[in-house]
Amino acid sequence: MPEIPTAPVLLGGEPGSFPHSVLAERHPAIIRQVREAFPYGPEQHRALDALLESCTEGVIEPLPVDAHDRDRWTAWGLAGYAGRCWFDVPWLWSESYFYRLLLEAVGYFGPGPWQGIDPFRPAKLAELDAQDTDEELAALDALEGVPDAERSAALLHGSLWGNRADLGFRLSAASTDARATAADATQDTPGLVADDSEALWSLLPPSGTGTLCLVADNAGRELVPDLLLVADLLDHGRAAQVVLHVKPYPYYVSDATTADVVDAVRRLTAAPGAAHGYGRRLWSAMADGRLTVRAHPFSCAPLPYAEMPGDLREEFATGTLTVFKGDLNYRRLVGDRLWPPTTSFADVTAYFPGPVAALRTLKSEVVTGLDARTEAALDTAEDRRWRTGGTHALIQVAGA
């Protein structure tokens, strides 16, 4: 029997560590940002005050008795973690539960007038409306008439590097340099620390029969290039069907929900030039069922994908390829563990029921599948910053 590799699960308790800074600094900053974004009433302000106190100095509180998803969270571990310090439980779990309680505090789950109001929407919309987005869309005109393989590769890279458009990440990165570019990778270290793009293309041949499951990450300037890639794959027969997995409710600040998909497609259809055509084709693909949106509850679970429920496993099993976008999805795909970076990506994703790929910029310490030379070069040039700075990316494939 093959040996199943393992490594320590990331916790948030070590002062000075990246997970600790997310819990101790990023979460309070997110509460501040949300509070300033809406004219909330006194009840919501009180609930936000209580969450701030709990998540910095207190313990994990249970959900209200009438919460619609109390049983689900109990099954996801709440019974064992309630009453414990936020910093002492798995980092993935405490982060995820923080977002659940933040939505509770602002009345997102209702009942009441604030039900369904996404506390992160102003930030998401600002990004979608930004001039940078206009410029990115205008650049599509230059791809018209370019050979298929070249255009598809450009769109794949657009989707990959679009993963830096993460509004939660930028709250932390603001004091350093949130606008770092791929060129920041030093001459000795590659921007792409692993590149299995050939294997990825081999799983999506232009035969027109495959189903691609794309597990989306951020809305706005990540989702737009994801959708452009989807349109390209459908247009050129590399996928006959695409299932876009989004979050059932707002999460990790900018994670995409169905409402964000609608905003992104409308943004494209309203744009001039080639972007407009991509938007129209996506619209048609949604209308005729070639592109569907899925919002499975497990997409917001505080657990690794190895623990996914049977219905989701069956869905992924029918896909020709499942692509996981982004850092958090990567953490959940490989398990949120401090793997030695040379751990095999194929081994840690062996549980997955079909071919699987990760497209991700590196924004946490979780990484697998590097060769020893690349790891050594990165450590020498950047110490540990390459793991969390968002300036490096990877394309990894298993099960090809």
Ligand X SMILES: O=P(O)(O)OC[C@@]1(O)O[C@H](CO)[C@@H](O)[C@@H]1O
Give residues in contact with ligand X (CB under 6 A). Answer: 22, 26, 95, 163, 166, 168-169, 217-218, 252, 326-328, 331, 363-364
- Decide if 369 contacts 396 (C-beta within 8 A): yes
Q: Are strands 291-294 and 241-245 parallel, antiparallel or unpaired?
A: parallel
Residue 266 C-beta: closest distance to ligand X, Å: 22
Minimum separation from the CB atom of position 111 to ligand X (A): 30
Comparing CB distances to ligand X, the nearer of 133 and 163 is: 163
| Contact between residue 196 and residue 227 where contact means Cβ atoms under 8 Å apart | no
Say which residues have a Cβ less than 8 Å from residue 96's Cβ, sequence separation at least 6. 251, 300, 301, 302
* Torsion sign, CA atoms 9, 12, 295, 264: negative
The sign one gets for the Cα dihedral 219, 220, 224, 225 is negative
Min CB(152)–ligand X separation in Å = 22
Q: How far is the CB of 166 from ligand X (least distance, A)?
A: 4
Judged by beta carbon, residue 168 or residue 319, the one nearer ligand X is 168
Q: Which of 152, 138, 142, 129 is nearest to 201 (CA)?
A: 152
Query: Of all residues in this chain, which one has the CB nearest to ligand X in the complex?
Result: 363
Chain centroid, CA 179 distance in Å? 19
Minimum distance, C-beta of residue 130 to ligand X, in the bound complex (Å): 18
Instruction: Please count the other Cβ atoms lying within 10 Å of the Cβ belonging to residue 191.
Output: 19
Task: Find the shortest distance in angstroms from Cβ 65 to ligand X.
Answer: 29
* Separation of alpha carbons 216 and 222, rounded Å: 9
Closer to ligand X by Cβ: residue 217 or 260: 217
Structure tokens given for 370 = 């590097």
Q: How far is the CB of 7 from ligand X (least distance, A)?
A: 16
State the first-to-last Cα distance of the chain, in angstroms, to the nearest integer. 21
Nearer to ligand X, 232 or 255 (CB): 255
Residue 267 or 363 having the CB closest to ligand X:
363
CB nearer ligand X, residue 96 or residue 320: 96
Q: Residue 244 forms beta bridges with which residues?
A: 214, 293
379 burial type by CB count under 10 A (0-12 exposed, 13-18 middle, 19+ buried): middle
Closer to ligand X by CB, 136 or 222: give it. Answer: 222
Per DSSP, 25 falls in state I
